């Protein structure tokens, strides 16, 4: 019997133990081949590290994600009694923000790692804020490094109380908080006797109990992103990825912003003809009646078409030293599309902790700032409101050296 799948994102301030926790999870659930473990142990010894260092495991498992953005990501699925979990690890803060907003990986739930020793830090709050605005409502906290505070109950309570205040301000309800030591493996997958005072569940028993898998967005209107268009044996093949809804053969579709219309004659996936494609599927289409379809086009049905517009309001977060000012022109990327947009007006700077307005109409937004901004696209685009179709409601802003900011669309005009 196959278990339902859960995608987990592990978030938290740098050095609070995210990699160690993931390494521990994979190690304790025996999904790492013996040979790989030996290699890592040898490497670890060679570098003069004592014992098994879990973050080496992580470094060696990292793989590059394909696609427009290079995102380091590590994905090794592991099982509990209830679910097949896949961890979406983002090694750094920037990668995390990028990854979350581009939706390179859809997270069903998040584990927030907070060090018991250091307590809540800037990125702790920032990440909790981001998961919230991105609509990840399933959150579990691991208060890590409990070994460093002698497994002390008072310290755990102190950190938990502060965390609860942050969650309440963000609108999270009843977030489970579990004391763990990722390094020693206490309370991660295995129960530990070191917490005499704790009779609750382990981190993963808690996840199993509180989390539910997300469902495919099949009841939403059809949206698919054109990835590529090529000729094969005299026929034009349109390769696209379904984001929402169901694509069926025999139906008329439109492509925006190209403005082309056509009939789906055939849908192919992995070389086989299929009648329907669902969200997540990448398919090749043969469409009659089209000429100039392009990468970046959005496919929809005429009954509920993707709309073209120019101006939109977005909530954005900056994560590089490239500042943003009114009238700046920036390249934004969403789905497989790329467009130039002008910063019409920075409407406000938002405090990411309390979600309140910090400053109205600031002149500039800089690294780490969250702001509400009105953009105007140079050519019409078909983004969506994030609350309706998140898959096409988020974007990144490209700079000279990669993504510099990311945003979600609040309103379109």
**Using CB under 6 A as the criterion, which residues of the chain lie in contact with ligand GDP when the complex forms?**
12, 14-20, 55, 144-145, 147-148, 181-183
Which of 127/372 has CB closer to ligand GDP?
A: 127
Report in angstroms how near the CB of residue 24 gets to ligand GDP at its nearest: 8
**Is the peptide bond preceding residue 257 cis, with omega within 30 degrees of 0?**
yes
Task: Report residue 318: phi and psi, to 5°.
Answer: -95, 135
Angle between helices 54-61 and 18-28 (to 10 degrees): 90
Q: Which residue has the tokens 């920032």?
A: 126
Least Cβ distance, residue 91 to ligand GDP (angstroms): 7
Strands (E), 93-234: 109-115, 139-144, 177-179, 223-232
Distances (CA, A) of 252 to 26, 285, 305: 46, 12, 11
Q: How far apart are the first and last CA of the chain?
A: 48
Q: Checking phi first, is residue 74 left (phi over 0); if not, alpha (psi -120 to 50) or beta?
A: beta
C-beta of 347: minimal distance to ligand GDP in Å?
Answer: 34
Residue 74 to residue 84: CA distance in whole angstroms: 15
Per-residue DSSP letter, 22: H
Angstrom distance (rounded) from CA 197 to CA 373: 49
Q: Which of 164, 126, 97, 115 lies closest to 353 in space, CA to CA?
A: 126
Compare residues 149 and 365 and give the one whose CB is closer to ligand GDP. 149
In whole angstroms, the minimum distance from the beta carbon of 47 to ligand GDP comes to: 13
Which of 20/300 has CB closer to ligand GDP?
A: 20
Provide the minimum distance between the beta carbon of 145 and ligand GDP in the complex, in angstroms, as a whole number. Answer: 4
The nearer residue to ligand GDP, 162 or 194, going by C-beta atoms, is 194
The minimum distance between CB 42 and ligand GDP, in angstroms, equals: 18
CB atoms within 10 A of CB 175: 19
The backbone torsions φ and ψ at residue 224, rounded to the nearest 5 degrees and listed phi first, read: -135, 150
- CB nearer ligand GDP, residue 16 or residue 98: 16
What is the Cα 252 distance to its own chain's centre?
32
CB 238 within 8 A of CB 226: yes
Nearest distance, CB of residue 69 and ligand GDP, angstroms: 20
Pairing relation of β-strands 223-232 and 272-274? unpaired
Closest CB to ligand GDP among residues 23, 371: 23
Residue whose tokens read 């755990």: 156
Q: Choose between 12 and 245: whose C-beta lies nearer to ligand GDP.
A: 12
Token code pair at residue 46: 């060679």
Q: With respect to ligand GDP, which residue has the nearer C-beta, 62 or 205?
A: 62
Min dist. Cβ of residue 182 to ligand GDP (A): 4
**DSSP string for residues in 211-260:** --PPPP-TTSPPEEEEEEEEEETTEEEEEEEEEES-EETT-EEEEETTTE
Q: Which is nearer to ligand GDP, 75 or 358 (CB)?
A: 75
Smallest gap from Cβ 301 to ligand GDP, in A, equals 44
- Chain residue whose CB lies nearest ligand GDP: 17
Q: Which CB sits closer to ligand GDP, 126 or 349?
A: 126
Min dist. Cβ of residue 174 to ligand GDP (A): 25
């Amino acid at each position: 019997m196959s278990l339902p799948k859960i995608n987990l994102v592990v978030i938290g301030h740098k050095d609070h133990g995210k990699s160690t926790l993931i390494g521990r999870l994979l190690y304790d659930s025996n999904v790492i081949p013996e040979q790989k473990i030996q290699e890592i142990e040898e490497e670890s010894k060679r570098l003069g590290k004592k014992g098994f260092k879990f973050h080496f495991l992580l470094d060696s498992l990292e793989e590059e994600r394909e696609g427009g953005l290079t995102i380091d990501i590590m994905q090794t699925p592991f099982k509990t009694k209830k679910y097949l979990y896949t961890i979406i690890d983002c090694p750094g803060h920037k990668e995390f923000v990028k990854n979350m907003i581009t939706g390179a990986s859809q997270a069903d739930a998040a584990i927030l790692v907070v060090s018991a020793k250091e307590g809540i830090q800037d990125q702790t709050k920032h990440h909790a804020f981001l998961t919230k605005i991105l609509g990840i409502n399933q959150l579990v906290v691991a208060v890590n490094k409990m070994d460093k505070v002698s497994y002390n109950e008072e310290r755990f309570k102190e950190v938990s109380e502060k965390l609860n205040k942050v969650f309440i301000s963000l609108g999270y309800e009843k977030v489970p908080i579990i004391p763990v030591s990722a390094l020693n493996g206490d309370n991660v997958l295995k129960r530990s006797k070191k917490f005499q005072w704790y009779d609750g569940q382990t981190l993963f028993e808690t996840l199993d109990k509180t989390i539910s898998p997300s469902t495919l967005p099949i009841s939403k209107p059809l949206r698919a992103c054109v990835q590529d268009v090529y000729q094969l044996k005299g026929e034009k093949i349109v390769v696209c990825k379904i984001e929402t809804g169901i694509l069926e053969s025999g139906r008329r579709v439109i492509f925006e912003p190209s403005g082309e219309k056509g009939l789906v004659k055939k849908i192919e996936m992995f070389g086989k003809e299929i009648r329907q494609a669902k969200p997540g599927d990448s398919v090749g289409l043969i469409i009659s009646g089209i000429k100039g379809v392009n990468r970046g086009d959005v496919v929809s049905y005429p009954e509920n078409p993707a709309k073209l517009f120019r101006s939109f309001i977005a909530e954005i977060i900056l994560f590089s030293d490239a500042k943003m000012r009114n009238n700046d022109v920036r390249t934004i990327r969403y789905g497989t599309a790329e467009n130039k947009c002008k910063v019409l007006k920075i409407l406000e700077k938002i405090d990411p902790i309390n979600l309140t307005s910090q400053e109205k109409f600031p002149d500039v937004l800089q690294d780490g700032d969250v702001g509400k901004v009105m953009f105007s696209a140079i050519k019409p685009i078909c983004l969506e409101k994030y609350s309706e179709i998140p898959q096409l409601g988020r974007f990144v802003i490209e700079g000279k050296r990669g993504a510099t900011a990311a945003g979600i669309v609040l309103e379109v005009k």
